[in-house]
Structure 1
Amino acid sequence: MEDYAFQTEGLVKRFGATTALAGADLHARPGTVLGVLGRNGAGKTTTIRILATLTDPDEGTARVSGLDVVRDAAAVRPLIGLTGQYAALDEELTGLGNLVLIGRLLDLRKRAAVRRAEELLERFGLGDAARKPVATYSGGMRRRLDLAASLVGRPRVVFLDEPSVGLDPGGREELWRIIRELTADGASVLLTTQYLEEADALADDIAVIDNGRVIAHGTPSELKQIVGGQAVAARPRDLDRLDDAAAILTTVTGHVVERAGRHEIVVPVDSDRAVFEVARRFEEQGIALAEFSLRLPSLDEVFFALTGAPGNASDRSDDDARSRA
């Protein structure tokens, strides 16, 4: 059997009359990012809490680096790092103080704890704020410090539960860079996110959870094939020619054109030949294009096709409240 960084088999968890997980199976290869998507209450956070040894499953098994998270919980904990949806920091301590405290709790000697804390603060761009109270930190700074805290023990596996919630675009881009660095260093990451483009950008594989079960598992490209086919997107430079462009797309492809935003039109295509014919017709009709592209379906479309749930895949979920109960 392949060695996985972490995996679950037949995972079941109930909270009273509510079944949060109903036989969830997922796995991730070492040194990769597994993105876990699911709608409100699907069981994402409950899965992380079980893998992180914070709650026991009612049925099934979960392993981290081959170790059972229930039977071998004490051996699993030094191997993992966890960043939850809400920063777990002492606001009265400085950034340095928070990380040193965690290092000492992990049995690092004081000098080693300080050295590791300073290293992480520099890596996360918090060196200048290291000796300031966390109460003075911005939301983005707290998020980065929280992630740094999860890495003090140099974990092999890192669980990130919606780590980019509340970050501005610059903060999210910085977070993405850090996650890529983690896997480049050999760590494995389980990432839940409410931003589907984030999963598309970071995940080597994606698992979609619905009603407590994994209903799809594969690379982003493999999952996009579920929706089927490709689409042409076009945006004329002269917006007065939008209807003319739509007429050409409909005539050539035989499919109904859809609007993607105010000035872009999209239509499915059944062959590459249709793409070339569309381009030829645009040139023939003198329609200059600001954008013309052939693309696979988006993860949003995949998520909707799999679950029937429009909107964000990973809103803060009911299972968060249940798992803290």
Structure 2
Amino acid sequence: MSVFNASQVEISTFFLIGIPGMEPAHIWVSFPICLMYLVAILGNCTILFFIKTEASLHEPMYYFLSMLAFSDLGLSISSLPIMLRIFLFNATGISSDACFAQEFFIHTFSAMESLVLLIMSVDRFIAIYNPLRYTTILTSDRVIKVGLVFAAIGILVILPFPFILKRLKFCKKSLLSHSYCLHQDVMKLACSDNRVNIIYGFFVALLSMLNLVCISVSYLLILKVVMGIASHKGRLKVLNTCISHISAVLIFYVPIITLAALHRFAKNVSPIIRVIIADIFLLIPPLMNPIVYSVKSQQIRNLILAKLCQKQH
């Protein structure tokens, strides 16, 4: 039976938070956030530009990298403007519809990024396990089809979120615990039965963890292949091709796992730590992924340096 009373006023506006206890310093916090936002947008747009325009980058690995950059752009655009509004203008209010839309886009692009990281790990396994057949297994058409299928899966899995939130009644609490809207955060404020949200949210979390397990299995198989290589130099050369992707996996999953562990095992930890880790989850991957790939990928690095030298002349 619903605990919602028709006589209660239903909440139509939620309130996000910045960093608790540091409100006077929010204006200063906004500057590094703004800088990170601009670098993330510029970095990922640069990656997409070079992959689209340079024929030498029309390979499966770079197509998957373009999907990662697209997901990072989506995460940045759907979350950081509202975060900046909080820190710059102390404008914490957000309508329920805007909140549901934001959480849909954040969860969708997060799911896409998780799935792209999975197919990138499979890509690395195929390249190392069977390099002679790599180009015949992962043709351009096949890569595009796989990318579209995984993008559709990401959207379809997250699509129910705003609808199952819309059916809830919010009548008492309106203060969220992050600088952006998340499904699990919003549903806790409901004063009506939210069991459907809890069950479906748990199902989506399991799928995300299953992705991480599959990525881990891919790298265990890669490690098995690498250990079979006789020369030490050969092992290092093969592992070096995976460093960028391993970094992307760690950058994406470490904040998620840390935040989940804090919520589960350290309930008395300072809210400031939780908010900062939650913000890192959205700030760092879009910022760091293009930097890591630009540094580690010789082809992309050479193209960027050539373009910069061309401008100087």
TM range, normalised to the smaller chain?
A: under 0.3
Question: Whose radius of gyration is greater, 1 or 2?
Answer: 1
Whose RCO is larger (CA < 8 A, sep 6+)?
Answer: 2
TM-score, length basis structure 1: 0.20
Q: TM-score, normalised by structure 2?
A: 0.21
